[in-house]
Amino acid sequence: MASGYSGKENPDLEESIDVQLQNLIKLIRTKYISSSQSYKPMDLGRKAQFFTLDVITKIAFGEAFGDLERDEDMYKYIQSTEEMLVVIILFSTVPLLSWLISFEWVAKMAFPSGQEATGVGRLIAVAQELIGKRFGSKAVSRQDMIESFIRHGLKEDELISESLLQILAGSDTTATTIRATMLYLMSHPSTYRKLQEEIDEAVRSGRASSPIVKSSEAQELPYLQAVIKEGMRVWPAVTGLMTKVVPPEGDTVVVDGKHMFLPGGTNVGYCAWGVHHRKDVFGEDADAFRPERWLEAKGDKLAYMHKTADLAFGWGKYQCLGKNIAWMELNKVFFELLRNFDFAIVDPTKPWKSENLGLWRQSEEWVEITDRLTS
């Protein structure tokens, strides 16, 4: 499936993200600009997920949910996944429970069927309907990710479950990274200013000339790259154990330079928060948000930091398939938000609600926004 995710076989991938980002900018500009005459705070936590959901649904189904255009949690999808998150994480973490849902009748009781009017059940119905359009005698054909998957042999039911997985895996994670990085930026004025200066300079010098910055242009901005890496490191979006099972014959691994035999069947997980805050890897100030560390480190030290930080996307054959898409979204979103607007936290004593369940349940990130381009 890698070619579908990479953009090689779906040339409109970047444009799909641009359209949704334009929708986000339009939504902010029309409804949430505060000035001396009007006070219109916005829940950035919610809008970040509207953006990532519209991007993923456009990519996975060929049609966006339309959360940004309607300024609404369509089909109550976000509300339902927030409610179901505990169950999802429990089932994916506790081996006995994942064994139990291999029985069809248990799975039927635990999970939605597609008959429900809202939430994940409604999403299953939407997936069945939209993916169904790509099959049969009147099959719709487009040069996109779904088409790429079909060409590489995925069947209709596999495509439906893949698209659902994508939405769960790709919207919440990227939204967490946007929320957390924006919160750190807003609470670190010198970092915020430095990033905005780099963005403004790229626009002035014509290095970012399109209405929405190209991902290739954003990649050339060293401070922006450092900010994104630091945001993902200091606040990893996936903190669940994500255990992998040692093959039956067992395996020998190297831990801190020592060989260690792991018996077959052992579940091996990793503590994301601990690893991404390791002082021996990232420095004594590993708990602090300081993007400069990525520009100061050199050679082997920098390579080790990169390799460690990359674990945020998993490793090996289980690594996140949407990593490039996530990077593309992040490259564009911070650039455009800070190019167009200025952000301040409404209540610094209660900046957001954030709860860790292995993934994050986050809400109420109220911000005050001013328009940089018109004020």
Q: Which residues bind ligand HEM (CB under 6 A)?
A: 56, 165-166, 169-170, 173-174, 177, 237-238, 242, 312-314, 318-322, 325-326
The least distance separating ligand HEM from the CB of residue 52, rounded to whole angstroms, comes to 7
Q: Judge contact between 67 and 112, C-beta under 8 A.
A: no
State which residue, 58 or 369, has the beta carbon closest to ligand HEM: 58
- Give the torsion sign (CA, 7, 10, 15, 16): negative
Q: Residue 165: CB partners within 8 Å, gap ≥ 6? A: none
The least distance separating ligand HEM from the CB of residue 77, rounded to whole angstroms, comes to 15
State which residue, 230 or 369, has the beta carbon closest to ligand HEM: 230
The least distance separating ligand HEM from the CB of residue 213, rounded to whole angstroms, comes to 18
The least distance separating ligand HEM from the CB of residue 20, rounded to whole angstroms, comes to 12
The least distance separating ligand HEM from the CB of residue 203, rounded to whole angstroms, comes to 25
Neighbours of 275 (CB within 10 A): 16
Neighbours of 113 (CB within 10 A): 11
Give me the residue whose beta carbon is nearest to ligand HEM.
322
State which residue, 107 or 245, has the beta carbon closest to ligand HEM: 245
Tokens of 257: 């330079």
State which residue, 174 or 225, has the beta carbon closest to ligand HEM: 174
Q: Please name the helix (run of DSSP H) or strand (run of DSSP E) that holds residue 126, with its range, or none.
A: helix 119-132
Distance CA 49, CA 54 (A): 8
- SS3 category, 244: strand
- SS3 category, 255: strand
State which residue, 166 or 331, has the beta carbon closest to ligand HEM: 166
| Cα of 46 vs its chain's centroid, Å | 13
The least distance separating ligand HEM from the CB of residue 121, rounded to whole angstroms, comes to 21
- SS3 category, 128: helix
The least distance separating ligand HEM from the CB of residue 324, rounded to whole angstroms, comes to 9
Q: What is the DSSP letter of 346?
A: S
Q: Judge contact between 212 and 332, C-beta under 8 A.
A: yes
- SS3 category, 301: helix
State which residue, 309 or 369, has the beta carbon closest to ligand HEM: 309
| Number of continuous H segments (helices) and E segments (strands) in the chain | 18, 9
State which residue, 57 or 196, has the beta carbon closest to ligand HEM: 57
For the chain, helix, strand, coil in percent to 5 are 55, 10, 35
- SS3 category, 368: strand
Distance CA 353, CA 374 (A): 31
State which residue, 34 or 354, has the beta carbon closest to ligand HEM: 354
The least distance separating ligand HEM from the CB of residue 89, rounded to whole angstroms, comes to 13
State which residue, 202 or 321, has the beta carbon closest to ligand HEM: 321
The least distance separating ligand HEM from the CB of residue 337, rounded to whole angstroms, comes to 16
Q: What is the DSSP letter of 76?
A: G
